[in-house]
Structure 1
Amino acid sequence: MKTLALHEIGEVIRKVRKERGLRLEDLADENISPATVSNIERGVAHVSPEKISYLLEKLDLPMHKLPEMLVKEQSELKKVKFKMLTVATLRQIGLVDEALQQLEELVLDESHPYIAHAYYLKGKCYMSKKKWKQAERALYNALRLSQQNSYKEQNMEAASYLLLSLSSYYQNQMEQALSFTDNGLEAFLENGTNQHIKILLYRNKGIYLHRLGRITEGMRLVQEIWSQIPNIADAATLLGFYWLRAEFSRLIGLYEESIEYAEEGIEIARRNKLYDSMCDLWIVLGSAYTATKDWSMAETSFKMALKVEEKHKEEQRITKVYNRLGTLYMKQNRMEDARNALLKAIQQAEKYNDSKHLSTSLLTIGELSYTAGNVEDAIAYYKKALDLTQKHGYKEKEYKAWFNLAKCYDGVDEQEFQNCMRNMYNVKRDFTRMEVEEHDFKD
């Protein structure tokens, strides 16, 4: 019997047993244990056909009637599968509450083939609403049930780990996100369906390594998987890898390689009208040209990123572009242009409550003020940045804030200077993967 057929037979047996008000133990005897009955109901492949036939006889389910019952069971499963497709579509087009309502109306017990999928979709819906705890509860249920269910061909376990990693990522829990991703890759079944899950796990792992500053490890990951890039059907996922390749190349100093992959990715994004990816790649390109001191090319690249985002708004990217333009102008000693760009970055970040990029903007404009001799302004900016970094757990940026404040107090206020140095030590002790490099464009 094929796995699917076994599972359908198990569903028929489970329904008949429940309709008759029988427990697993009620069907057990010296020839068949409760555990075996449970395995048959769940479609476990290693159960012998003799045991299945024996259980069918005990339930007085004639073999000649089984095909008819299986057809009925298949029809019911199709309806549930269709409902799942409906829910997934509703969520994707933004009708999240309606999707959740339809899931609530779908009554499935814990042995149903699609129960893990239902919890998975519920988790996805709550993630869309940024209700992380509710999302995680649903996803842990999806994970538990997919691990219990022998019918794993849909790779629901790996998919649940994928979403759990994203939930951690959005809450700035990078180590946890990375751990979930590794769990997902370990759980992934090469002979199962939903093969795209694996490539998404690899892409996300690259992003988390980037956020953690583990650049060499991230570059190695991308290089190892690069031969599979031509097989990626989804253009947005493909461009995620182009961004990673260009960004990691830039961060390890391979600027020409970074430029090559960024330009190649921009062409793909342009052909597919994927404006978010196009903007990200123009930003990397501008950063690579900044590193090679091709000021005109860098400025043009950043302005192209702004033009893309002005037509297809995504507030975080606009903030990022103004941040990098500000740093570019500082390197060219165009201090007034730098200040204007950074003030725009701060305005955008505050407007959209973008604490991550706001902290970067404040640190950068603080340095601009310090360089111009406006130490009091610099201190004010650094303190604002410090409050944000401590509130949101941006340890690397907190270190930079303390370091820059120490520069301001050095030779001026010994007590404040020592306080900054002590706090720098405390942050360094708690956060060992630090790369203290000013304006490294990691944001």
Structure 2
Amino acid sequence: MDILSLGEKIKKLRKEKNMTLKELAGDRITAAQISHIERDKSHTSHELLDYLSQKLEVSVDYLLETKEMQSRRITDNLILQSEIHIKRGELEKAEELINEILNICKNYNLIDNYAKCNFLLGTINIKKEDYNLVVGNLEKALYYFIKDNDKENIFRCYLNIGKVYIQEAFFKGAITHLGFAEDLLTEGQIGDMDIHKDLYSNLAYSYMKLNDSEKSLYYINKISDIEMQNNIKDEIDMLLLKANNFLKVGKYDDSKECFKRALELLEEEENKSGIANVYLRISDIYKNLGNIDKVLEYSQKAYDINKNSEDKITIKSLSKIVDAYIENKDFEEAKKYCKVALALAIKSKNKCNEYKALKLYSKIHKAQNENTSAIEYLYKCANIVSELGDTKTLAELYIELGELYSNISKEKELEYYHKGVALYKNLEII
């Protein structure tokens, strides 16, 4: 992966062939002239280049390739390799390769490839769910894509930043960045209809989360208006968006109908994760209706479909099951599923899920008026959250500890309230 000058190339090739300066010079030129060429101290004619290429068994084009041309070719190839690593899930290899490419891009001012590398780092961190790093990567990529006037990749950056903000439940920020992406569509810069639909569905979801059903339905209708061949995935996405909107505005029967139709299509596709997600949303409908038995039924269905996995859906299913059993005051069953959630978290070494499982244990003990045990679990939660660096969640835990201490120790109650409030102030929440 060396980037060499003409002289350096000639010297390297000569050494590889175990040739002396005199042997390479032959009767064409002197050894001293070859030495000068190798040290880039003199220029060569086309005829001499032709002679040297034959002696060294390479093309003239190879010898004439400048450092800038080499850096472009090398980084293009390495970017392709890193994309393959990402597709295979070999994220560490991809990241290591991208950092090498970034150094070359800096040295040779390859703005476009520098931007692409930062975009790929963002993609890697999305897969790692490290959303703080993602936004930094994408914003850096965005800066250089704008300098290079690369409209399509500017769009992709805005779209992906919007998606990250959705993951972090920062829906206003998501709408701002998705709106920038939509402006590029309005200018007619992006022609891919699938990308249009991706943008509109994320806008619809964000507006739904902000309780703006009118705007949400507006973007759902924009998806419907796109002239493209319909397929099952599109229909499922549409039904789920409509179902979520109906659920948000309290139209539970309409929501159930949309979920039911989506479920039928997902079952045809044998999409287990999709089916589990729909079951969880149906359980939300029944929770709003106060039907805990149905909440339990659909949460259990979601868990049964996905229980061999260790992903978010499984943990979410278990959480809903535990909540339902707590609601029904069946604390032994609740503890049984807590144990499963904790075992899964420990097995996958997922500290975030371990915190969630311990939090459920605390919730059970609190519901049983066993505040001392509830406090012990919250202490464990606080230790994990502190390690993870999640200040907002830590503040919430301190406030909850203060509430639990209210009937045990006024001193401790005030201590934890103060701790929670101090963290909120640091975060500028209050």
- CA displacement, residues 143-199 of structure 1 (integer Å, 9 cap, x when unaligned): 3333333454xx222222222212122122222222221221123254466x42222
Instruction: Flag the structure with more relative contact order, 1 or 2, with Cα contacts below 8 A and sequence separation at least 6.
Output: 1
Are the equivalent residues in 2 in contact too, given 1:283–1:302 (CA < 8 A)?
A: yes
Q: Which residue of 2 aligns with 1:59?
A: 44
Q: Does residue 247 of the first structure (1) align with residue 205 of the second (2)?
A: yes
Alignment map for 1:288-299 (pairs within 5 Å)? 288-299=245-256
**How far apart in 2 are the matches of 1:375 and 1:23?**
85
Alignment map for 1:308-327 (pairs within 5 Å)? 308-327=265-284
* 340 and 169 in structure 1: CA distance in 2 versus 1, 3 angstrom threshold: same
Q: Which of residues 88, 105, 120 in structure 2 aligns to 1:163?
A: 120
Q: What amino acid is aligned across from residue 375 of structure 1 in structure 2?
A: F
Q: Which residue of 1 aligns with 2:135?
A: 178
**How far apart in 1 are the matches of 2:310 and 2:233?**
17
* TM-score (normalizing by structure 2): 0.71
Q: Which runs of 5+ in 1 are unaligned?
A: 1-9, 30-54, 66-70, 78-107, 437-443
- CA displacement, residues 111-163 of structure 1 (integer Å, 9 cap, x when unaligned): 353211211111111222212111222222333333333454xx222222222
3-state DSSP of counterpart to 2:391:
coil
Alignment RMSD: 3.8
Are the equivalent residues in 2 in contact too, given 1:326–1:342 (CA < 8 A)?
A: yes
**How far apart in 2 are the matches of 1:205 and 1:196?**
14
**How far apart in 2 are the matches of 1:386 and 1:245?**
35
Are the equivalent residues in 2 in contact too, given 1:263–1:281 (CA < 8 A)?
A: no
Q: Which residue of 1 aligns with 2:102?
A: 143
Q: Which residue of 1 aligns with 2:332?
A: 376
Are the equivalent residues in 2 in contact too, given 1:11–1:112 (CA < 8 A)?
A: no
3-state DSSP of counterpart to 1:293:
coil
The structural deviation recorded for 1:213 is: 2.6
Q: Does residue 126 of the first structure (1) align with residue 82 of the second (2)?
A: no
Q: What amino acid is aligned across from residue 183 of structure 1 in structure 2?
A: K
Are the equivalent residues in 2 in contact too, given 1:266–1:282 (CA < 8 A)?
A: no
Q: Which runs of 5+ in 2 are unaligned?
A: 16-33, 51-58, 397-430
Q: Which residue of 1 aligns with 2:361?
A: 405
Q: Which of residues 292, 308, 320 in structure 2 aligns to 1:364?
A: 320
* TM-score (normalizing by structure 1): 0.69
Q: Does residue 212 of the first structure (1) align with residue 168 of the second (2)?
A: yes
Q: What amino acid is aligned across from residue 259 of structure 1 in structure 2?
A: L
Q: Which of residues 257, 271, 277 in structure 1 aligns to 2:228?
A: 271
Are the equivalent residues in 1 in contact too, given 2:318–2:341 (CA < 8 A)?
A: yes
**How far apart in 2 are the matches of 1:59 and 1:239?**
57
The structural deviation recorded for 1:292 is: 0.8
**How far apart in 1 are the matches of 2:370 and 2:115?**
55
State the percentage of identical aligned residues: 15
**How far apart in 2 are the matches of 1:323 and 1:338?**
8
Are the equivalent residues in 2 in contact too, given 1:213–1:433 (CA < 8 A)?
A: no
The structural deviation recorded for 1:26 is: 4.3
Are the equivalent residues in 1 in contact too, given 2:362–2:374 (CA < 8 A)?
A: yes
* 359 and 263 in structure 1: CA distance in 2 versus 1, 3 angstrom threshold: farther
Alignment map for 1:75-114 (pairs within 5 Å)? 111-114=70-73
Q: Select between 399-408 and 414-423 the one with higher mean Cα deviation.
A: 399-408
**How far apart in 2 are the matches of 1:277 and 1:354?**
27
- CA displacement, residues 413-442 of structure 1 (integer Å, 9 cap, x when unaligned): 333111133245445653135598xxxxxx
3-state DSSP of counterpart to 1:111:
helix
The structural deviation recorded for 1:267 is: 4.8
Are the equivalent residues in 1 in contact too, given 2:71–2:104 (CA < 8 A)?
A: no
Alignment map for 1:25-44 (pairs within 5 Å)? 26-28=38-40
Q: Which of residues 236, 239, 242 in structure 1 aligns to 2:194?
A: 236
3-state DSSP of counterpart to 2:70:
coil
**How far apart in 2 are the matches of 1:173 and 1:357?**
18
The structural deviation recorded for 1:62 is: 7.5
Which structure is larger by alpha-carbon Rg, 1 or 2?
2
**How far apart in 2 are the matches of 1:23 and 1:419?**
77
* 156 and 218 in structure 1: CA distance in 2 versus 1, 3 angstrom threshold: same
The structural deviation recorded for 1:293 is: 0.7
Q: Does residue 256 of the first structure (1) align with residue 221 of the second (2)?
A: no
**How far apart in 2 are the matches of 1:404 and 1:280?**
31
Q: Select between 207-216 and 293-302 the one with higher mean Cα deviation.
A: 207-216
Aligned residues: 358
The structural deviation recorded for 1:261 is: 1.6
